[in-house]
Amino acid sequence: MLEAVEGNRQFLDNFFSDDGDKCFGAIERLRNLVIGSNRTKTHVVECGMVPHLLRRVADPTVGTRVQVEILVTLGSLAKGTREHALALVDANILPLLVEGLRSAAPELRTPLLRCLRSLLLQLPERADELCRDPAAVPLLTQSVTGAVVDDECATTILAILCQSSRHQELLAANGVVEVSAALLASGTACLRLPSLRLLASLCYRSPAISDRLAHCTLSGRTVPDLLTVLTSRDQPSAVQLEAARCLSYMHRAGAGALPATDPRLVYRALPCLVRMCGPFQPLEDRVLAADTLGYLTEVDLDLQRICSITDHVTTTMREYLRYQPTTSHPKTCSHQRRMAVEMKKAAFRVYASLGSNDEEIRKRIIETPGLMADLLAALEDGGESLQLAALRCLLSLSRSVQTLRTALQDHVVWEQVMNLARHKKSSPDVRVAASSTLCNLLLEFSPSKEPLVQHGGVDLLCELTRSDDPAIRLNGIWALMNMAYQADHKIKRLILRRLGTNELFRLLSDPSTAILMKTLGLLRNLLTKPHVDQFMDDSHGPQVMQAIVLTLESDHPAEVKEQAICILANIADGSKSKEFIMGNEDVLKKLMNYMMHSSVRLRVAAVFAVNNLVWRCDDGSRERQARLRRMGVYKLLQQLQHTEDAALYERVKSVLQQFN
C-alpha cells in the first residue's frame, strides 16, 4: 500500500490529474486496496490522503463518476476502526457531506448517505455536532424518497441523531415522526428495523410524540396495533425486540395513550421482552431486552407481578449474573467480557424494578443463589455503571424489613454503601443511589443503624447535607431524619452538634420543598419526649420557634405547614417547652387560624397541638385552658364538632374532654 500511495509517483499524478479517466482509475485502485483491510486504511490515513480525498470530492469539476468513487472509498474508511472514522470527522467531513446532500446530483445521494451512516455508527457521540447544522435534519428527512437503500440509510442516521429531548423536538419539528410511521406501515422488510429504532428513540420519555404516534392511523390501523403485530414470533427476533421497545416507551412516556392494563402491553410487549432475554438470542439483544424490561416494569405494581411469574424471568436473570466468556480469542474474549458486565447491569435493573413494591417478589429475588455476593462484588470492584446498577438493586431490596434484618445485615452491606456515599470521586449518580440506600439502612428496625452511627455515619450525613447537589442534600437530611426517629438522647445530641443549628436553619430555607419537608421531619424527630424540654432549653428554643413561624407564614404547600404544626404539637407535649407557645400570642393565633383552615389535615394538626397544651394531667393545665377559653379556642372546638371528617371529629372530641 505504501508503494501504491506514497512511493508510486504515477498513482499520485493520476489522482491529481485533470483527466477524468486517469483520476477515476487511481481512485478505483485505492478503493479496491482499502476495502476489507484495516491495515491499508491505516496507511491511507497516516500518509495524509484523507484531506486530499475530501478536497477532490468537493470539486465538481472532477465529474460525478469520480465523486461517487471517492465517496465509496471514504465510506470504506469510515467502516474501519474508530480511529479511521475519527480521522475523517477531524478532517471536517460532516459539513462536506451535509453540503453534498443539499447540492449533489441524484447519483451521489446513496454513497453520501452510506458514508454518513457508517461514520455515525462508529461515532454516535458526534451526532450532536451534526444536529447543530440547521440544514442536516431537513435534508435527511427529504432524503426519504422511496428509494429503499436511501430510506434505510437516512432512517438509521436519524435514529442515531435522536439522543435527547432536544433532538426529539428537532426531529419532530421536521416531520420525522410521520415519516418514520409511514416507513413502518410501508411493509418493506429491510426498512422495518431502522424505522422501529427511530420510533423507539422518538418515543423515549416524550409524552407529546408518544401520544401523536398512539393516535396515528395508517392503512386503517393505529401505530400501536402495527407494533403489536411485529412482536409476533414469525417476525425476526430483532424486529420483535424493537417493536416491544416502542410499545414500552410509549407506555412509560406517560401520555396515557397506552396504559399499563392495555392487552397489547400485557400480553404482547412484556412476554416478547421476556422471550428475548432467553439464551438463544444474541448477547446484545439479551441485554437490550432485559434493560427495556426493567424500564417497562419500573413503576407499575401489576406489571411487576405479571413479569415476575412470566417464563421464569428471575431464574433467567440469575443466568445473566453467571455468564462468562466462552472463547480465548483476544478480540472476541474482550467483547464478551464487556457483555458480561452489561448482562450483570441488566439483571440488577430487572431485579430492582421487580422488587420495588412487592414484598413477596423481593423475597424470591433475595433467595437467588449468589445474588448478595454478586452485588457486593459489583460495589467493590465494578466500574461506575455497574456500581450504580447494583446500588439501585440494593435500594429496591432494602425496602423489605426482612431483608434489612437478614441478608443485608449478614453481608455487612452498609460498609460498602457508606464508602461509596463518602467518596467524592464517585459520580453524582452513584452518591445519590448510595445515600438513598443509607436512608433505608437507617430505618428504626434496621440492625445496620447502630454500626452506621458508630462508624461515623452522622458526620457523613451532615457532610452530604452541605452538597451542591440537591438530590444528595435531600438524602443526607432524609437519612438524618430516619436516624433521629426514636433515637436516644445521645444520638440526637450528636446529630444536632455535628449538623449545627446554623446548617439546620439554612436547610429550612432551602428552595426545595422536599428538603424543607425532611428538615422539618428531622426537627420533629429531635423534639420528642423526653428530650424536647432539654433541646428547647439549650438556647435553641427561640430559633426553633422563629423557624416554625417563618414556615407557617410562607407560601408553602399544606403538607409542609402540617409538618411545622406537628413540631408545635411536640413542643406543646413538653413540660417546660409549652411556655414557648403559651408565651407567644402570635403563635397561638396562628394555631386558631389553622383550626379553621380549608385543609382538613391542617385542622387536625392544629387541634392536636391544642390537645397537648390543655392536657389536664400536666402541671398548669387549668391556667392554660382558661387562657385559651378567653382567646376563643373552646368556641372554635365546639364549631368543629359538626365536621364530617371522622379523624377530625375524634380529635376534637378528645380535646373537649380535656376542657370538661
Which amino acid does the sequence have at 544? Answer: V
Report the pLDDT value the prediction gives residue 187, as an integer from 0 to 100.
Answer: 79
Q: How far apart are CA 435 and CA 457, in angstroms?
A: 11
Report the pLDDT value the prediction gives residue 325, as an integer from 0 to 100.
Answer: 82
Q: What is the average pLDDT score of the chain?
A: 92
Query: Tens of pLDDT along 306-319?
Result: 999 998 999 999 99
Which residue shows C-alpha cell 412470566?
310
**If we measure between CA atoms, which residue out of 58, 148, 142, 123 comes closest to residue 97?**
58
Query: Tens of pLDDT along 597-638?
Result: 999 999 999 999 999 999 988 888 899 999 999 999 999 999
Report the pLDDT value the prediction gives residue 230, as an integer from 0 to 100.
Answer: 96
Report the pLDDT value the prediction gives residue 382, as an integer from 0 to 100.
Answer: 76
Report the pLDDT value the prediction gives residue 328, as an integer from 0 to 100.
Answer: 67
Angle between helical axes of 313-322 and 371-381 (0-180°, round to 10): 50
| % of the chain surpassing 90 pLDDT | 77
What DSSP string runs through 510-555? -S-HHHHHHHHHHHHHHS-TTTHHHHIIIIIHHHHHHHHHHHHHS-
Residue 270, all three cell numbers: 412484556
pLDDT bin (cut points 50, 70, 90) of residue 6 is very low
Report the pLDDT value the prediction gives residue 17, as an integer from 0 to 100.
Answer: 79
Return the beta strands (E) in 202-269 as ranges.
217-218, 221-222
Whether 83 has a pLDDT exceeding 90, the answer reads: yes
Report the pLDDT value the prediction gives residue 442, as an integer from 0 to 100.
Answer: 95
Report the pLDDT value the prediction gives residue 12, as an integer from 0 to 100.
Answer: 67
C-alpha distances in Å from residue 24, one per residue of 66, 79, 113, 183: 5, 22, 21, 36
For residue 530, cis peptide bond before it (omega within 30 degrees of 0): yes
The DSSP bridge partners found for residue 217 are 222
> Does an H or E element contain 407, and which?
helix 407-410
- Mean pLDDT of the 82-100 span: 95
What DSSP string runs through 219-271? TTEEHHHHHHHHTSTTS-HHHHHHHHHHHHHHHHTT-SSS-TT-HIIIIIIHH
Query: Tens of pLDDT along 576-591?
Result: 999 999 999 999 999 9
Angle between helical axes of 646-659 and 633-640 (0-180°, round to 10): 140
Sequence length of the chain is 660
Give the chain's domains with CATH numbers. Answer: 1-122 (1.25.10.10), 528-660 (1.25.10.10)
Report the pLDDT value the prediction gives residue 177, as an integer from 0 to 100.
Answer: 94
Report the pLDDT value the prediction gives residue 530, as an integer from 0 to 100.
Answer: 86
The DSSP bridge partners found for residue 221 are 218
Which residue shows C-alpha cell 405547614?
561
- Mean pLDDT of the 446-457 span: 93
Query: Is 390 in contact with 397 (CB distance < 8 Å)?
Result: no
pLDDT bin (cut points 50, 70, 90) of residue 219 is confident
Whether 531 has a pLDDT exceeding 90, the answer reads: no
Q: Which backbone phi and psi does 383 adopt, to 5 degrees?
A: -70, 180
Which amino acid does the sequence have at 218? Answer: L
Whether 416 has a pLDDT exceeding 80, the answer reads: yes
SS3 218: strand
Query: Tens of pLDDT along 464-481?
Result: 999 999 999 999 999 999
* pTM value surpassing 0.85: yes
| % of the chain surpassing 70 pLDDT | 97
Query: Tens of pLDDT along 17-43?
Result: 778 788 888 889 889 989 989 999 999
Q: How far apart are CA 30 and CA 40, in angstroms?
A: 10
Residue 21: CA count within 13 A, CB half-sphere: 0
C-alpha distances in Å from residue 346, one per residue of 110, 390, 391: 37, 10, 13
Whether 3 has a pLDDT exceeding 80, the answer reads: no
**If we measure between CA atoms, which residue out of 241, 252, 235 comes closest to residue 282?**
241
- Mean pLDDT of the 147-154 span: 94
- Mean pLDDT of the 354-375 span: 94
pLDDT bin (cut points 50, 70, 90) of residue 9 is low
Between 4-8, 103-107, 331-335, the lowest mean confidence (pLDDT) is in 4-8
Q: How far apart are CA 86 and CA 75, in angstroms?
A: 13
For residue 279, cis peptide bond before it (omega within 30 degrees of 0): no
pLDDT bin (cut points 50, 70, 90) of residue 7 is very low
Range list of H helices, 125-222: 127-131, 136-142, 148-161, 165-173, 176-185, 189-203, 207-214
